Amino acid sequence: MRAAKPQSSQINFKFIIFLFLFLGLAFLILRSNFSSSSSSSLGDELQNRMGMAVPKTQNCPSTCNKITPSLSAAIIHYATSNITPQQTTKEISVTERVLRRKSPCNFLVFGLGHDSLMWAALNHGGRTVFLEEDEAWIRQITLKFPTLKSHHAVYDTKVRNSDYLLAAARAAEECRVVADPRESKCVLALKGLPKEVYEVEWDLIMVDAPTGYHDEAPGRMSAIYTAGLMARNRKEGETDVFVHDVDRSVEDKFSKEFLCQGYMVEQEGRLRHFTLPSHRKNSGSWEKKKSNLWFENGSIAFIQMKVASLIGGQPGRYDRLVFGQLLLSSM
């Protein structure tokens, strides 16, 4: 058994170690302060000799270098979640490029989902509003992410009636009038949304809802039509409109019909991107736009229907004779 060291020698040994550590730490602190001040002084001197103005530093509050709670929540959520958005990376990149150019801006999204936090974060500093059909889902998401702003949207349409609604809109003059959706008489115009949705001029509109994958679902007929109407009804400028799931019949037909294929910028996977200019200066009707006969595939059928009504018959050989003249006069 080893003999124990005297108590006094242990205390002296610990004191010596502590003293060396303290002196070493003090030396490092003094050296770092000296080097930083020296480099700063040297840099200022070089800038003065070269005639360069040294900008004065502005007092900045302690919060200016901190990310916002919404960005923090987005980073944590996507870093810890195994649930991925329904859109692919390439599809998301289409909208992200526009947001990078336009944000902070006004961004309206039909649908509240796993990608909502991402859209709000990409539009940092802007207004991002979500419209959702499921009230229970809104409560669930709001509880988890209280910074997201969402409203309940009610749809009275069914996917099984989409062909009828498309034909009715083609035949109805009121569906071609540019107006506030609340004042529109078109069967497809959404009227029960909050006041904010109608009064804000949206720079981007994403249509990724409501549900549309089965016959009894509400479908996106009204959402697509209303998005186009809002874009055309803005005072000036243009609106970027995105429609997801265009591999389905409703999204494919209605996006071409009411957003006009002539305004389509690109398609990536199942996402279409349209850029619609304001039509408000065009006498209140987007039908008169030369660049937009309004119906991409349905324009011929619509004009033939108009001719048939004038001559009191069904579209046939007689109205086809008049069709060319009517089409030329509309250009």
Query: How far apart are alpha carbons 248 and 241 in whole angstroms?
Result: 17
> Which of 229-233, 252-256, 319-323 is the least confident region?
319-323
Highest mean pLDDT, choosing among 126-135, 138-147, 279-288, 304-313: 126-135
157, pLDDT greater than 60: yes
For the cut 90, the answer to whether the pLDDT of residue 268 exceeds it is yes
Work out the percent of the chain whose per-residue pLDDT is above 90.
58
Q: Residue with structure tokens 């530093």?
A: 57
Residue 252 has pLDDT above 60, yes or no: yes
- Would you state the CATH architecture of domain 69-288? 3-Layer(aba) Sandwich (3.40)
Q: Is the pLDDT of residue 70 over 60?
A: yes
Q: Is the pLDDT of residue 266 over 50?
A: yes
Instruction: Tell me 181's DSSP state.
Output: T
The amino acid occupying position 182 is R
Please choose, from the candidates 283, 291, 294, the residue with its C-alpha nearest in 3D space to the C-alpha of residue 260: 294
Task: Give the chain's mean pLDDT.
Answer: 79
- Give domain limits for the chain: 69-288, 298-331
Residue 145 scores a pLDDT above 60: yes
Cβ–Cβ under 8 Å, residues 150 and 169: no
What's CA 68's distance to the chain center, in Å?
A: 19
User: How many other β-carbons are positioned within 10 Å of the β-carbon of residue 104?
Assistant: 13
pLDDT at position 162 is: 98
Position 227 scores a pLDDT of 99
What is the structure's pLDDT at 307? 43
Task: Report whether 167 contacts 187 (CB < 8 A).
Answer: no
- The pTM of this model reads 0.69
In tens, the pLDDT along 193-251 reads 999 999 999 999 999 999 999 999 999 999 999 999 999 999 999 999 999 999 999 99
- Give the pLDDT confidence of 27-59 residue by residue, as tens digits: 555 555 544 454 455 455 545 554 545 455 555
Q: How confident is the model at residue 81 (pLDDT cuts 50, 70, 90)?
A: confident
Q: Output the CA torsion sign for 74, 77, 80, 81.
A: negative
248 and 242 Cβ atoms separated by less than 8 Å: no
Q: For 91-99, what is the mean pLDDT?
A: 98
Q: Which of 171, 163, 136 minimizes the C-alpha distance to 150?
A: 136
- Quickly state the pLDDT bin for 21 (edges 50, 70, 90): low
Q: 228 with 257: CB under 8 angstroms?
A: no
